[in-house]
Amino acid sequence: MVTRIEIAHRPQHADPRGEALARQARTFLDIPLKQARVVDVYHVEADLGPGEARRILAEFVNPVLAEGALGRWDGSPFDVAVTVGFKPGVTDSVGKSARVAIEDTLGRSLGSDAAVFTSQVWRLVGVSREQAERLGRELLANPLIQRMRVETAEEWRSTPTDLEVPRVRTHGVPPVETVDLALDDAALVELSRGRLLALSVDEMRAIALEFERAGNDPERSAAGLGPAPTDVELECLAQTWSEHCKHKIFNASIVYREGADEPQMIRSLFGTHIRGTTERIERAIVEREGRSWLVSVFHDNAGVVAFDDRRHLVFKVETHNSPSALDPYGGAMTGIVGVNRDPFGTGLGSDLLVNVWGYCFASPFHDRELPRGLLHPRRIRDGVHAGVIDGGNQSGIPYGRGWELFDERFVGKPLVFCGTVGALPVTVAGRPGEAKAARPGDRIVMTGGRIGADGIHGATFSSAALDESAPVQAVQIGDPITQKRMFDFLLEARDLGLYEAITDNGAGGLSSSVGEMAQGPGGACLDLSLAPLKYEGLAPWEILVSEAQERMTLAVAPGKIEAFLGLARRREVEATVLGEFTERPTLEVRWGSRTVALLPMSFLHGGAPELRLEAQWAPRSFDEPSARDRDVAPAEALTALVGRLNLASGVSKARRYDHEVKGLTAVKPWIGVNRDVAADATVFLAGHDSLAGFVLSEGVNPYFSDLDTHAMAGAAVDLAVRRQLCGGARIDRIAILDNFCWPDPVATKDNPDGPYKLAQLVRACRGLDEAAVAYGTPLISGKDSMKNDSTLGGIRISVPPTLLVSAIGKIDDVRRAVTLEPRATGDRIYCLGLTRAETGGSEYFRYLGDRSGRRAPLGAPAPFVGSAVPRLLTAETVPLYSALAQAVAAGLVRSATALALGGWAVAAAKMAIAGGIGVDLDLDSAAGIDALGVDEALFSESLGRILVTVSPGDATRFERLFDGLACVEAGALDGTGRLRLRRGASIWAECAIESLANAHTGTLRDV
């Protein structure tokens, strides 16, 4: 029986959802929507007794605000109604909460078959049917996950009340199949493609060979398995060997060629330039300090560094690009709640402290024709923000860093970086917090959400193959409340010492989580028929590899299993024993009494053939702006720059993210008199028991990649580190994370440019390595995403190679933190670092390109990339930073900001906007200035530079620290309310701070 309940705001009260839609329709779609009001619909599929439906209605309706009805609510008049509901199998978390409320109201359970499905009816006034359809398509519904129905008022009245619910209907459990691999190469490739295994021909051959060799093994026949692999085995191998889990490219053998030079052989980029780099840095730390502060790196779900005697810090950043392109809201939400599980599944489990996010999009004001099937960049941006906002806020985790960069090459695929900092107790129930080990005999327990078809094969699944009642597979949708409740339960279990090991279910689902954990004890045996499902009808292999969200896998000792399960019951969190860890070195998967997979652990984890790749580097050249293109008044250029998408204040969106929950926030993400200037670094307490804190910052500049990824990587590390120091971090406790988002670097017929992109990767790794070693900042965690291309209308669009370097540092007392906010008139300004004519890949050149009216063809970089990319010269920067750190520690620095996009001019402008007083910057004696033109001096993006203010009384002490270094006095703060940029008597630019502030906040206000 299905009962329909409709609820809407009373006519005398505003309907903010409807008003927001009307505004969007008018602004973005030019549809003159007069009014929109929303009706929330609940379809309760349950046997309700007499009067029960009415009781539910009475409770659901907020008596002050709303009214409602059983069946149809006869409320406000409309011209067209657009109904939006989920497709079968899509997570409906509101429906889940509604069910809880119904059961509390009725005082009884609705039974296991019952469910509540939610949808919305948008009652629109002043639009035609066609306009309503467009509005629904472009603003309300995503056909991948939602159903939409458009009816005129007449059609609405003449049809019976809709009682249809998106229940998943299935037809029994599909049988386990065996797959014959005695095939030629072409057939193996076809098999991999057809089953979406994403395995190469070499890998398929390796599997075929293994089964040819061991298929008749007596252990296999004893288990009732034949010589050919089952689909469960094949899928399990495909997941374990996937690029996502195995990082094959980063572990490949690479032949690197540069022009006609001798080719160089690189055994593994990861081993050489990531792990190797960190090992070298750690040795230096031990040499200097006698002990290391790296607690756990590279072998767990996130990196762990020592913080104080009670807790370590844990940090991980991930990307979720493809899912966010398909379903921006769900994809991005899964990104944030997914990365939460990484620190949570590190060691014995961390308390989650702070999230970070960063996005690369095409312009939200994109006005060119979009290839079919592509969502408008504005919609992708809005959806991604909304998903991470809801995911973070509802999980009760503040954000600490948030940034956006824009380039038209992100039109096909946005980059969505999400990360989380956690605190791992030094001791958990008497054991070291970072130690985790499943032992033979420990139970395999899955807890949290249930398994569905969502996320099987991730985003590679072709939705065309779906029939109407089939569950949606292509995207997962997070349910932060289910996860939050699971986390709360697990933290209690952790502190009671109820489990031995924990890890998350992310990519590859159970096959990865159990497969990885089983390496400790030897092996594992699990029975998939015990797994709790969202609905029946999943094949065993689907259950094994499903990436359904909100699940953790644990190892629980037999003596503690009752206590563990009992606590789960009391917290109303599902927890199920699926099997146990074994000494036998195999992964055995059962379906009831039948064995459906039996894989030697050695083959599962060590059987994948090594990838061999070719890299070929040759510098490329790009257009420079002409003298005429550069003929622009500096004040005009600066005003334009601070309002460009990459520099404009993103505070409108960012304020929708909580940044203060937990009460640990010291320096907030947006600062200054109007609290709308992005902070160089943010600062948080790690707990309420100490004034020590941590500092967060990052560096990222995909634009330099067009010229040289080596420089790009150096720039990213340098900026992240420089911002740490400008925030007040100790120089000797900074750790960094690397997140590579690359276009496909493997050469194929469709990707002839692969060797160049691989060479870009090699160069980036070398740049990263050199910078990290120079600064002594170990790489504690990272991730790579290697297929960021899309083919649209026959054109291949590749993202510019992007390396995000995230940094976490320590500050001994958060009250010693520094910001870019100038403090008082009369304070002296200092310029640190050397400026060179490095305008290649600069924001200034991109501005000149836009100003010239030229537009790059789809997939190409913006006009005027130029040639001179900023290079990191650590021989100059290392002593400079060390002096800066001393000055900060001595309390001599009143404010500081690291130069990034837009050089001295933009740094001074940001300082001026944040302070609102007056900045008089005189570059006359700034290092390197003599050799430069005015625009180069102002806008070049040379690295290693910092703008500092110092109180006049401290000037001598400050200057003494920089003896012999590039540090010069360069003007003072004044009370003029203006920004003046000059060289001695020659005034280069002068702007009222108010007009700069307006330009800075205007671009993205309410966008």
Partner 1 sequence: MSDAALSRFRSLPEHEQIRRRGQVRVLVLTGLGLNCEVETATAFRRAGASPECVHLLDLLEGQRRLLSECSILALVGGFAFGDHLGAGFVFANKIRYRLYDQLLEFIGRGGLALGICNGFQTMVRLGMLPGLDGDWRTPRATLAPNDRLGYRNAWVRLAFESGSPCVWTRGLSTMDLPSRHGEGKFIAESPEFLERLETLGLVAARYVGPNGGATEEWPWNPNGSARGVAGLCDSSGRLFGLMPHPDAYLYGFQHPDWYRTRSAKDAGLEGPGLEIFRNGVDAAASAI
Q: Report the interface residues with partner 1, using CB under 8 A.
A: 9, 13-14, 16-17, 19-20, 40, 59-60, 62-65, 93-94, 97-98, 100-101, 104-105, 107, 389, 393-396, 480-481, 484-485, 488, 570-572, 655-668, 671-673, 675, 688, 814-815, 817-819, 821, 823, 914-915
Shortest distance, position 971 Cβ to partner 1, whole Å = 20
Helix (H, G, I), strand (E, B) or coil at 393: helix
What is the DSSP track for 255-273?
EEEETTSPPEEES-HIIII
Judged by beta carbon, residue 823 or residue 871, the one nearer partner 1 is 823
Which tokens is 696 given? 């967060």
**3-class DSSP state of 112:** coil
Select 327 or 676, whichever has its Cβ closest to partner 1: 676
Q: Where are the beta strands (DSSP E) in 366-479?
A: 399-406, 415-425, 427-428, 431-432, 443-448
Compute the distance between CA of residue 448 and CA of residue 486 in angstroms, rounded to an integer: 5
CB 829, CB 972: distance < 8 Å: yes
Based on CB atoms, which residue is closest to partner 1, 717 or 820? Answer: 820
Nearest to residue 501, comparing CAs of 297, 345, 310?
Answer: 345
Least spacing, CB of residue 923 vs partner 1, in Å: 25
Question: Closest separation between CB of residue 297 and partner 1, Å?
Answer: 28
Return the residue matching tokens 């959806």.
383
Kindly tell me which of 54 and 570 has the beta carbon lying closer to partner 1.
570
Minimum CB distance to partner 1, residue 359 (Å): 18
Helices (H), 633-706: 634-642, 651-654
The distance of closest approach from Cβ of residue 395 to partner 1 in the complex, given in angstroms and rounded to an integer, is: 7
DSSP code at position 145: T
- Region label for 579, one of left (φ > 0), alpha (ψ between -120 and 50) or beta (otherwise): left
* Coil/strand/helix, residue 812: coil
Q: Cα separations (Å) of 391 from 336, 355, 477, 573?
A: 6, 10, 10, 19
Least separation in angstroms between CB 479 and partner 1 = 8
Nearest distance, CB of residue 120 and partner 1, angstroms: 13
Using H for helix, E for strand and C for coil, what is the string for 183-208? CCHHHHHHHHHHCCCCCCHHHHHHHH
- Between 288 and 569, name the residue whose CB sits nearer to partner 1: 569
- Compute the least distance from the CB of residue 653 to partner 1, in Å: 10
Q: How far is the CB of 57 from partner 1 (least distance, A)?
A: 12
Residue closer to partner 1 by CB (options 94, 955) is 94
Q: How many residues does the chain have?
A: 1007
In our burial notation (b when 16+ CB lie closer than 10 A, e otherwise), range 3-39 reads bbbbbbbeeeeebeebeebbebbeebeebebebbbbb
Nearer to partner 1 among residue 657 and residue 988 (C-beta): 657
Which CB, 743 or 822, lies closer to partner 1?
822
In whole angstroms, how far apart are CA 757 and each of 198, 379, 610, 820?
20, 29, 19, 37
**Shortest distance, position 674 Cβ to partner 1, whole Å:** 10
Please report, as a single letter, which amino acid is at residue 160.
P
Residue pair 510/419 in contact (Cβ under 8 Å)? The answer is no
Q: Are 990 and 983 in contact (CB under 8 A)?
A: no
CB of residue 718 vs partner 1: minimum separation in angstroms?
A: 24
Nearest to residue 415, comparing CAs of 724, 941, 784?
784
User: Is the distance from CB of 183 to CB of 447 less than 8 angstroms?
Assistant: no
CB-wise, 144 or 661, nearer to partner 1? 661
Helical residues (DSSP H) of 423-537, grouped into ranges: 480-495, 509-517
Nearer to partner 1 (CB atom), residue 116 or residue 885: 116
Structure tokens at 235: 């899928």
Q: How far is the CB of 65 from partner 1 (least distance, A)?
A: 5
Nearer to partner 1, 385 or 644 (CB): 385
**Residue among 101 and 889 whose Cβ is closer to partner 1:** 101
Cα→Cα distances 606→210, 572, 601, Å? 12, 40, 8
- Angle separating helix axes 993-1002 and 903-915, nearest 10 degrees: 100
> Which residue, among 915, 913, 877, has the nearest Cα to 898 in the 3D structure?
877
The residue with tokens 């190892």 is 555
The closest of 519, 493, 508 to 438, measured between CA atoms, is 519
Residue type at position 136: G
Tokens, residue 877: 């920067």
Q: How far apart are CA 285 and CA 279, in angstroms?
A: 10
C-beta of 16 vs 224, nearer to partner 1:
16
Question: With respect to partner 1, which residue has the nearer C-beta, 352 or 526?
Answer: 352
Which residue number, 393 or 886, has a Cβ lying nearer to partner 1? Answer: 393
Closest distance between partner 1 and the C-beta of residue 40, in Å?
8
One-character DSSP codes across 702-713:
GGGGGT-HHHHH
Please, are residues 500 and 438 in contact by the beta-carbon 8 Å criterion? yes
Residue nearer to partner 1 on the CB measure, 276 or 687: 687
Q: Please, what is the minimum distance in Å from the beta carbon of residue 106 to partner 1?
A: 9
- The answer to whether 511 and 544 have CB atoms below 8 angstroms apart is yes
Q: How far is the CB of 394 from partner 1 (least distance, A)?
A: 4
Angle subtended at Cα 773 by Cα 767 and Cα 774, rounded to the nearest 5 degrees = 90
**473/819 with CB nearer partner 1:** 819
State in angstroms the smallest separation of the CB of 819 from partner 1: 5
Nearer to partner 1, 692 or 934 (CB): 692
Least distance (Å) from partner 1 to the CB of residue 904?
A: 22
Q: How far is the CB of 301 from partner 1 (least distance, A)?
A: 22
